[in-house]
Amino acid sequence: MLSAGGVGGPIGRAFLLVGLVGALFGFVSCVMGMRQKDEKVLRLSLRFATLSAVSALGAFVAMEYAMITRDFSLDYIQKVGSRSTPALYNFTAVWSALEGSILMWLLALALMTTWVAWRYRTKITDPLVACALATMFVTAFFFFLLTVGPANPFAQGAAGVTDGPGPNPLLQNHILVLFHPPILYIGYVGFTIPFAFAIGALVTGRVGEGWLLETRRWALFSWGFLTFGIVLGGWWSYEVLGWSGVWAWDPVENASLLPWITGTAYIHSVLVQERRGMLRVWNLSLLVATFSLTILGTFLTRSGILNSVHAFSESDIGPYLLAFFAIIVVVSLILIGWRGDRLRAPGIIDSPLSREGAFLANNVLFSVFAFVVLLGTVFPLIVEAVQNRQIVVGEPFFDSLATPIGIVMLFLMCIAPVLPWRKASAELLSQRLFWPAWCGVAALAVAVILGATGVEPLLTFTLGGFATGAALRQLVLATRRQKWRGLVGRANGGMIVHIGVIMISVALAASNSYTRSQELTLTKGVPASFGGHTFELTGFVEESDARRTSIKVDVSVDGGKSYRPAIHKFTSMGQNVGTPSVKSSWSKDIYLTLEPPVKPTSDEAKIKVFIKPMMTWMWAGGILMAIGTVLSAFPGRRRRPTDPVSAPVLTPSSTEAAS
């Protein structure tokens, strides 16, 4: 075996087997330790967690080694490796197809399992922690199983292969391939931790709020990475795909959005539980839904039953994922049914017009949104199963339903931040909402003066201004009282996240509604104009190497700097990949693509120009969301965790004492 290829394959396979055994033994030691109440046995699980993490890391390194040394004895390297791929894209080629992606998933999961095990090592005797850890071991075991079975990245390939096609051209075209997938995966995989704690809480019946503080922070961690990963994905699409959009409602995108939606619902509704001790069943269900949606999404997009631009390869892991999904759902439902009586919350929500009421409305909206996205994604499958007919559900469907949902969400973001817990009066609202509402009117006025048209974008701008006002009001009040500390904590950090979301919504509304586009045939030395800008072809650049042939054109915009849209023809795949060139400013982007066919000898080139307003706001909003998430992970000056959450809300004396 060794003589046939490099050492990467055998070593990788060995690591994966050791990891598989480690995860299994970790699970067994958790369960046995719990049953025998033996701390020594429980402590063994720490070792097994470390063992499986080291194994996963070892396997990943072995894969990288095989990729870097171009070990074409492995089937996977034959699929995605190539002697002509540059070092960076060769490194990232490890996660450019299914088996490597599962390996990366496994690596993240095994590291997180170890992190959880060591973080709670002093509490390992607590059945809840042991149970959560056992759940994580089961999940890790499942993914190790995938890698030694149907998605084995170290499977031997056909003999005699000396070169491969390399990764899909789209995955060797932009630096973001190094960041978007790993960040997204950390978010995706991270939701295993809150899920594991939810299962722990259900099994032990300790469905009070003790576990909640921990879970909330883990959920926020995963949510932050998922959010940032999604935003980076949008940016990547914009920079690479050449149709000037950020989101196509592609099944894989939807698969990442679904857990994001339920996760967002959770990090809002969990506050009601922390504060009032209510919605326990609901919150557990959201965590279960979030985790199971990550598995379902992976099943839908990786089993080959739904295809998309992201499905760079398929395999037969579908039945495994479906079975795992079914097990998660059935076990969780049984546990929730079994513990249902203990989950009953004592309190009630007094009025719909309260902070709690707003969180409930938020949850209804997010649930409907998740349902819409899931339905639209699987509807072609349903139609095919029922009527044996093929249909496509695409962007216009999702847009037409997501727009009203988004507008109502924006409206909630206007009202909810100023609502008190328990109950609000009309008088109170009219006081608190006054200036935020004027912010909305001001935003509308500015938009109208700048020439905005259409009801939906105008409503978005108005509500965006209003919601920004509401968020700023909270931040101003908090910083006035607590100086810089008024920016940290979940309420204040959350408001910064809100402002980021608003910026993204406004940017989406503006760019979807007011994009201008035109195809221009440019002749050297003759400027053409469109949308108040002039475009002049100043030259051609041709480059060629073993990997690809590139034709680029220099286009001077408004007589100034040159931009260089290009078309690359990848030799091994024979595929054309365009690379747009973008001139960005705060008000608008000028997005240029080169349209085939290009004849450098003719002094003529056809380009397509998109003028897209406010795109920069979208990326700024994404950064703001990331900053806000970090800030809200720090504890603010709130109720001490040891205080009972169902304690009376507030008495004047406690307020005085605290402030």
Partner 1 sequence: MERSRSSRLKSWPMWMLMGVVTVCLLAIGAGRDGGPLTQQERIDSITKRLACPTCDGESVFVSQASAAVNIKNEVARQVATGQRDDEEIVAFIEERFGGRVLLVPRATGFDSLVWVLPVTVLVCSVAGLAATFRRWRREQGLVPSDDDRALVARLLAEDPEDNDEVPR
- The residue (of 88 and 649) whose beta carbon lies closer to partner 1 is 649
Please report the DSSP string for 318-359 in residue order. HHHHHHHHHHHHHHHHHHHHHTHHHH--S-----SSSHHHHH
- Cβ 192 to partner 1 shortest distance, Å: 27
Residues 118-177 that bind partner 1 (CB under 8 A): none
Give 210: exposed, middle or buried? Use CB within 10 Å, 0-12, 13-18, 19+: middle
Residues 249-288 that bind partner 1 (CB under 8 A): 249-251, 275
Residue 606 as a binder of partner 1 (CB under 8 A): the answer is no
Choose, by CB under 8 A, the member of 143, 514, 591, 617 that binds partner 1: 514
Size of the site for partner 1 (CB under 8 A): 94
- The residue (of 71 and 253) whose beta carbon lies closer to partner 1 is 253
Q: Which residues contact 418 (CB under 8 A, 6 or more apart)?
A: 429, 432, 433, 436, 470, 473, 474
Per-residue binding string, partner 1, 575-604, x by CB under 8 A, is -x-x--------------------------
Piece of the chain touching partner 1 by CB under 8 A; list 55-63, 192-200, 452-460, 550-558: 452-460
Choose, by CB under 8 A, the member of 309, 329, 528, 582 that binds partner 1: 309
First to last CA, the chain: 72
Nearest CA to 114 among 136, 94, 129? 136
Choose, by CB under 8 A, the member of 122, 162, 388, 390 that binds partner 1: 390
Choose, by CB under 8 A, the member of 173, 283, 362, 474 that binds partner 1: 474
Nearest CA to 8 among 137, 83, 94? 94
- The residue (of 95 and 461) whose beta carbon lies closer to partner 1 is 461
Residues 105-124 that bind partner 1 (CB under 8 A): none
Q: Left (φ > 0), alpha (ψ -120 to 50) or beta: where does 156 sit? A: beta
CA distance 142 to 255: 20
Residue 39 as a binder of partner 1 (CB under 8 A): the answer is no
Nearest CA to 261 among 162, 376, 104? 376
Piece of the chain touching partner 1 by CB under 8 A; list 4-12, 157-165, 624-632, 646-654: 646-654
Choose, by CB under 8 A, the member of 447, 471, 487, 645 that binds partner 1: 447
Task: Name the token pair of 549.
Answer: 């042939």
Piece of the chain touching partner 1 by CB under 8 A; list 28-36, 209-217, 374-382, 620-628: 374-382
- Cβ 84 to partner 1 shortest distance, Å: 22
Q: What are phi and psi of 118, to 5 degrees?
A: -75, -35
Choose, by CB under 8 A, the member of 245, 318, 527, 539 that binds partner 1: 245
Choose, by CB under 8 A, the member of 40, 341, 392, 483 that binds partner 1: 392
Per-residue binding string, partner 1, 326-365, x by CB under 8 A, is ----------------------xxx-x--x----xx--x-
Residues 477-506 that bind partner 1 (CB under 8 A): 477-478, 481-482, 491
Chain-centroid distance, C-alpha 33:
36
Residue 639 as a binder of partner 1 (CB under 8 A): the answer is yes
- The residue (of 40 and 389) whose beta carbon lies closer to partner 1 is 389
- Cβ 503 to partner 1 shortest distance, Å: 20
CA distance 633 to 224: 10
What is the residue type of 183? I
Residue 550 as a binder of partner 1 (CB under 8 A): the answer is no
Strand 533-544 versus strand 516-523 pairing type: unpaired
- The residue (of 333 and 650) whose beta carbon lies closer to partner 1 is 650
- The residue (of 152 and 474) whose beta carbon lies closer to partner 1 is 474
Q: Left (φ > 0), alpha (ψ -120 to 50) or beta: where does 193 sit? A: alpha
Task: Identify any residues that bridge with 568 across adjacent strands, giving them in sequence order.
Answer: 550, 577
CA distance 290 to 358: 21
Residues 193-232 that bind partner 1 (CB under 8 A): none
Residues 517-536 that bind partner 1 (CB under 8 A): 517-519, 530
- On whether the CB atoms of residues 299 and 311 are closer than 8 A, the answer is no
Range list of β-strands (E), 350-472: none
Choose, by CB under 8 A, the member of 70, 516, 533, 564 that binds partner 1: 516
Choose, by CB under 8 A, the member of 83, 323, 438, 597 that binds partner 1: 438
3-state class of 551 per DSSP? Answer: strand
What is the residue type of 442? A
